[in-house]
Structure 1
Amino acid sequence: MKAFLSRRRRLHPVYLAFMAVSFMVGIAGALQAPTLSLFLSREVGVQPFWVGLFYTLNAVAGIIVSLMLAKRSDNQGDRRMLILFCCVIAIANAVLFAFNRHYLTLVMAGVVLSSIASVAMPQIFALAREYADSSAREAVMFSSVMRAQLSLAWVIGPPLSFAIALNYGFTAMFLVAAVLFLICVALIWFTLPSVPRAQTSAAVPLTDISGWKDRDMRMLFVASVFMWTCNTMYVIDMPLYISSVLGLPDKLAGLLMGIAAGLEIPVMLLAGRYVKRFGKRPMMLLAVGCGALFYLGLVFLHGRTALMLLQLLNAVFIGIIAGIGMIWFQDLMPGRPGSATTLFTNSISTGVILAGVLQGAMAQTFGHHAVYWLALLLALVSFALSWQVRESRKIKPQSCP
């Protein structure tokens, strides 16, 4: 009975609302992202260079806009209203892509709208952290379960995206995404709380805990960039590697991605459960070590069964850094959950930009195996940088004179 009552307390309506919002926003994003390159090449009719340019501009704009809005969100205003604004912009962006096929319009207006819309997810996690802290809930497990909703969304979203786009057209697919964002607006408006800002001690001014002024944050950011560079290089290169080098069926690439995404969910939940026992730093080091072994395995193991088994290492790598990594950023920037979460998501965006350049250059110059040797090297560098980052940053109360 005691365990049942404890479970009932955990299933608070606000808690469930955060889960639902993160899942719905994740599904809406997972509907649009997988088919975007196909949309640009088939519907808009542009060459591969212009497709790549769109991704690069989108990532760069997303970093700039998210940093600007994150700083404002931590200093003033209601974070919930900012999330609502971003979701409304996401609706406008989806409608634009549904009915517009002019490349310059999509680059100019679409990139701006997309970059603002992309701020919604880190701000949802920042609001969740503030709610967990203010209501004395377990922040790490709370965030881990929310992050698992994103993985679940990416298990469901991509197949659904291709099914709608190929059977009913891209206009229908983008309109479905717009409807999902509209549902998110309703959920946020009626269920998510407005959390008052926590007061930070005067002993540590807020300007002193900005990311770039702290050595630990700089090292963790660079380490995170390299982690996500490794992962994105693998995502870009793996379908080509499997078909052109290993001679395996094309559909195996989708199967491997699905296996990894499915395994990430229990990994995230277990990581959230045991992080207080083992600590964020040791668990992140374990994750990066598994990542290094994964990329090493890709160089030497080429069979279908071996590649499927290797996905367990990949799931441990991504499942931990995606959940615990964000918490580590937040704990190193107390009082700045919006900036910390945005810095974490910007490390992902920066990794995506680097991965696109590095994967293309390495594969074209040295072959696909070189991509995984480089990923192994970057994983080892990430391990060395993470080793030097402390567990968290505590704000000490100001002493009386």
Structure 2
Amino acid sequence: MNRLLMPSAALLWGLQIAFLSPSLALILTSLYGASMVEVGWVLAIYNASGFVASLVLPAWADRHLDYLRPMLGAGVLTALLVLLLATVTTLPLVTIALVVLGGPAGVGTSMMFAHLRHSGARASQVMNMRAVVSAAWVAGPPVATLIIGWYGPRAILVAIGAVALLNIATTMAMMSLRRRESLAADGAAAPVVHEDSVALGTTGIVLVTTAFVLLQATNATSMSFLAVYVPQTLGIDVLWAGIALGLAAGLEIPALMLIGRLTERFSSLGLIVTGCLAGIVYYAGVAVATGPVLLLVLQPLNAWCFAGIGGVGLTLFQQMISRPGLSTGLYMNTRRIGAILSGPLIALGGATLLGLRATFLACALLTVIGMVIILVAARRGTAVIRGSQEASVGPAQA
């Protein structure tokens, strides 16, 4: 049963986000008459609430060593949020609902990955679940678009609510299984010892976090900016942007599964460096592309870059920081901060003589900087390990 529960949970949590995130702006404009300025402010406040929740709730979960109850709470809050969005009629009330309910509800996925780590899952197993979430993201937005197109914006609220109820059910099943396992072990769960921990020290963790903010910014920029870049700079139909993004999304799943297997043989930091190298070539290639052929040829590099940042990055944070909730929450917040930084990166395209190509060149440069920081952190980690080994040698041994 457990073998089915975790993939089911990963798929459902991925679908919940994939239904809500792309549809929220449309829901605000069509159901509540929000202007684009109002949409921007509401989404900013909503994301700020999610940022705070992803710090507070994981801290509680780490103190209590319980990641399933926050998951259950996130499912319940999502169901309540959908109910309120379907009944309230004014934008201020919708904003309050998104802040009070939507922000905390967004921690469900990170709590799932924290639970995986706390349960003793290896990096490759976490990566497999990350691939399932990616599969949900491949299917989620097109399905959400079809639902809205056929039945209207309110119909997507029904779909999100249904997924939330399924999330509640799967989480309750996982809690029941956890209780049975605890009773079988006479109520004393053995502490999980992670043999794949990465010792970087506090400075190394700060360096890696900084690098990931930059890497997440470039990833968010390329994803959101391509639909504008393709028709305005390459001079081809925007359909090619959709084809390119769809191809990259389809390749992400095998890339995540492959790189997950490689984590058993190679270091996480080394694999992330390969993702950075792929990203540098991808961004530079898109910046000099003149047609659809090169754009499509480059997408495997885009997929590998995402696998390194979005997959191995998650497991690296769990390896660096022993508290599963804090580590996963910190990683998720690098995505949020990176998404904020993507705004200035996109604006750069309209402020230079190079035009929109400057944005992708800036992404390549920031990826180089992020890779260099990762390499510095790796060297520092080697020094930390060497220092701890030397400190453990007694005078007689020395």
Give the TM-score category using the shorter length. Answer: 0.7 to 0.9
Q: Distance in 1 between matches of 2:47 and 2:281?
A: 29
Deviations 1:16-69, CA, capped at 9 Å, x for gaps: 211110101111110111122222233322222222222222222211111011
Task: Please say if 1:169 is aligned against 2:152.
Answer: yes
Displacement of 1:77 = 5.7
Give the secondary structure class of the aligned counterpart of 2:264: helix
With 26-35 and 36-45 compared, the bigger mean Cα shift is at 36-45
Q: Distance in 2 between matches of 1:55 and 1:239?
A: 21
Which residue in 2 is equivalent to 1:233? 221
Among residues 116, 119, 140, which one is paired with 1:128 in the alignment?
116
Displacement of 1:101 = 4.3
Among residues 131, 143, 147, which one is paired with 1:160 in the alignment?
143
Give the secondary structure class of the aligned counterpart of 1:365: coil
Residue pair 1:87, 1:117 contacting (<8 A) in 2 also = yes
Displacement of 1:197 = 7.5
Displacement of 1:99 = 3.4
Among residues 330, 351, 375, which one is paired with 1:365 in the alignment?
351
Displacement of 1:146 = 0.3
TM-score normalised by structure 1 residue count? 0.86
Among residues 8, 32, 40, which one is paired with 1:52 in the alignment?
40
Q: Distance in 2 between matches of 1:126 and 1:321?
A: 18
Among residues 306, 314, 331, which one is paired with 1:318 in the alignment?
306
Deviations 1:318-351, CA, capped at 9 Å, x for gaps: 01221111111111112x0110001000100111
Residue pair 2:221, 2:345 contacting (<8 A) in 1 also = yes
- 1:103–1:365 distance in 2 versus 1, CA, 3 Å: farther
State, as a whole percentage, how many aligned pairs show the same letter.
27
Unaligned segments of structure 2, at least 5 residues:
183-187, 194-198
The count of residues paired between Structure 1 and Structure 2 equals: 371
Deviations 1:130-181, CA, capped at 9 Å, x for gaps: 11x2xxx5x1111011000111001100000111112101111111111111
Task: Please say if 1:99 is aligned against 2:87.
Answer: yes
Among residues 326, 333, 337, which one is paired with 1:346 in the alignment?
333
Q: Distance in 1 between matches of 2:308 and 2:192?
A: 29
Q: Distance in 1 between matches of 2:5 and 2:78?
A: 19
Which residue in 2 is equivalent to 1:67? 55
Which residue in 1 is equivalent to 2:196? none
Residue pair 2:53, 2:103 contacting (<8 A) in 1 also = yes
Residue pair 1:59, 1:350 contacting (<8 A) in 2 also = no
Which residue in 2 is equivalent to 1:181? 164
Displacement of 1:199 = 5.4
Matches within 5 A, 1:185-334: 185-192=168-175, 193-194=177-178, 214-334=202-322
Displacement of 1:217 = 1.1
Amino acid at match of 1:249: D
Displacement of 1:376 = 1.1
Q: Distance in 2 between matches of 1:247 and 1:42?
A: 31
- How big is the alpha-carbon RMSD for the aligned residues of Structure 1 and Structure 2? 2.5
Which residue in 1 is equivalent to 2:185? none
- 1:24–1:245 distance in 2 versus 1, CA, 3 Å: same
Deviations 1:234-260, CA, capped at 9 Å, x for gaps: 122111111222222222222222111
Unaligned segments of structure 1, at least 5 residues:
1-12, 202-208
Amino acid at match of 2:134: S
Deviations 1:70-105, CA, capped at 9 Å, x for gaps: 111101163211110111001112222233342212
Among residues 100, 106, 130, which one is paired with 1:147 in the alignment?
130
- 1:328–1:243 distance in 2 versus 1, CA, 3 Å: same
With 290-299 and 369-378 compared, the bigger mean Cα shift is at 369-378
Residue pair 2:26, 2:153 contacting (<8 A) in 1 also = no
TM-score normalised by structure 2 residue count? 0.87
Residue pair 1:98, 1:172 contacting (<8 A) in 2 also = no
Residue pair 2:230, 2:241 contacting (<8 A) in 1 also = yes
Give the secondary structure class of the aligned counterpart of 2:236: coil
- 1:198–1:112 distance in 2 versus 1, CA, 3 Å: farther
Amino acid at match of 2:204: D
Q: Distance in 2 between matches of 1:370 and 1:55?
A: 27
Displacement of 1:282 = 0.9
Residue pair 1:228, 1:352 contacting (<8 A) in 2 also = yes
Displacement of 1:129 = 1.1
Which residue in 1 is equivalent to 2:28? 40
Q: Distance in 1 between matches of 2:67 and 2:174?
A: 14
Matches within 5 A, 1:114-125: 114-125=102-113
Amino acid at match of 2:339: V
Amino acid at match of 1:244: Q
Amino acid at match of 1:279: S
Q: Distance in 2 between matches of 1:217 and 1:15?
A: 33
Q: Distance in 1 between matches of 2:259 and 2:124?
A: 8
- 1:152–1:200 distance in 2 versus 1, CA, 3 Å: closer
Amino acid at match of 2:123: V
Q: Distance in 2 between matches of 1:100 and 1:165?
A: 19
Residue pair 2:118, 2:192 contacting (<8 A) in 1 also = no
Deviations 1:343-382, CA, capped at 9 Å, x for gaps: 00010011111113432x2133233112112111111111
Which residue in 2 is equivalent to 1:8? none
